[in-house]
């Protein structure tokens, strides 16, 4: 099945190169950013500069419906639109470069973050594929509150990043509900989207997601490697309307992000507001 475009079925099993384990260090240098600020603001507080989420919104009738899935949350790997718009998503949360928050805030770049507890709280060892880490766990959940204040939705990516296909339903539910509860406590907003680690899920995952109040499972059509290079999951190696791109909170993210955003714009694509597009796709 050519799975990269539009919506894929719940039976699709993915083995993608996202969230790779540690052990492939490179020699790139750390980004020249200032030291992290330890944020202590209370959950739920919004700063005045948060003037609504950035990114283009769907036009009336632009987005095709996402098929209904018999009461379970839909699994979505791209947004069904013909407009040249793509969506940026960033996973885990190990590396917490304050320069990246400034970039997102100052340039009003639309992103969606999928936070994983053990990364955000720096329990364990991060993936080293982006280069030497400098800000691992620097701001903990304060970093995600800063992102939230910059207009970034903070969504669910489990507590411990397991391969969910190896877990029974109760353990899957603990991972999903536990992360939603934690994110709500730390950011003031309960997640509505779930991204399964490694893209691995099964029907129990969808049942657990529904039980934890998560309304959709978000996959992706391309990953972004260190250096801003796009690794496509489709044969023709081109950006397509509605593509969802996956990045990670890695060293040099701010620099890689600049390269990526320029590349996307050069190809004539805009950056979309994922939540607005999902709402439009599900409003049918």
Q: Name the site residues for Zn ion (rule: CB under 5 A).
A: 19, 91-92, 197
d(CA 86, CA 36): 30
- Minimum distance, C-beta of residue 62 to Zn ion, in the bound complex (Å): 30
From residue 217, give the alpha-carbon distance in Å to each of 7, 76, 194.
Answer: 11, 6, 5
Q: Cβ–Cβ contacts within 10 Å for residue 39, how many?
A: 16
Closer by beta carbon to Zn ion, 53 or else 199: 199
User: Which of 92, 118 has the CB closer to Zn ion?
Assistant: 92
CA–CA separation, 277 and 193 (whole Å): 13
Work out how close the CB of 68 gets to Zn ion at its nearest, in angstroms, rounded to a whole number. 28
Min CB(148)–Zn ion separation in Å: 19
Rounded to the nearest whole angstrom, what is the least distance from the CB of residue 196 to Zn ion in the complex? 9
Closer Cβ to Zn ion, 91 or 95, answer by number? 91
Buried b (16+ CB within 10 A) or exposed e, 78-92: bbbbebbbbbbbbbb
Residue with Cβ nearer Zn ion (159 or 281):
159
Residue 199: closest CA among 181, 170, 216, 219 = 219
Comparing every residue's Cβ against Zn ion, the nearest one is: 19
Q: Shortest Cβ distance from residue 124 to Zn ion (Å)?
A: 12
- Whose tokens are 């714009």? That residue is 265
Query: In degrees, to the nearest 5, what angle opens at C-alpha 236 toward C-alphas 264 and 24?
Result: 70
State the nearest-atom distance from the C-beta of 120 to Zn ion, in Å.
12
Instruction: Considering the complex, state which of residue 54 and residue 196 has its C-beta at the smaller distance from Zn ion.
Output: 196
User: Nearer Cβ to Zn ion, position 91 or 97?
Assistant: 91
- The Cα–Cα gap between 146 and 267 comes to 30
| Most distant pair of Cα atoms in the chain: their distance | 49
């Amino acid at each position: 099945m050519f799975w990269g475009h539009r919506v894929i079925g719940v039976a699709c099993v993915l083995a993608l190169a996202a969230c790779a384990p540690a052990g492939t260090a490179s020699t790139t240098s750390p980004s020249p950013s200032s030291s992290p600020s330890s944020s202590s603001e209370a959950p739920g507080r919004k700063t005045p500069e948060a003037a609504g989420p950035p990114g283009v919104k769907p036009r009336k009738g632009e987005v095709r419906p996402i098929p209904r899935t018999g009461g379970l949350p839909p699994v979505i790997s791209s947004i069904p639109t013909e407009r040249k718009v793509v969506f940026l998503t960033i996973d885990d949360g190990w590396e917490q470069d304050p320069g990246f928050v400034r970039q997102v805030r100052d340039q009003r770049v639309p992103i969606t973050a999928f936070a994983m507890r053990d990364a955000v709280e720096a329990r364990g060892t991060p993936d080293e594929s982006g280069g030497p880490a400098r800000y691992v766990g620097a701001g903990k959940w304060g970093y995600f509150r800063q992102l939230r204040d910059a207009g970034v939705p903070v969504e669910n990516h489990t507590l411990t990043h397991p391969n969910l296909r190896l877990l029974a339903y109760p353990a899957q539910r603990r991972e999903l509900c536990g992360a939603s509860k934690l994110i709500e406590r730390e950011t003031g907003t309960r997640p509505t989207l779930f991204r399964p680690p490694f893209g691995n899920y099964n029907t129990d995952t969808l049942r657990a997601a529904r039980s934890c109040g998560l309304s959709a499972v978000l996959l992706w059509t391309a990953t972004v490697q260190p250096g801003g290079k796009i690794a496509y999951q489709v044969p023709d190696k081109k950006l397509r309307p509605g593509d969802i791109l996956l990045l990670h909170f890695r060293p040099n993210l701010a620099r890689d992000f600049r390269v990526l955003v320029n590349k996307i714009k050069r190809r004539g694509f805009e950056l979309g507001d994922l939540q607005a597009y999902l709402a439009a796709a599900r409003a049918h």
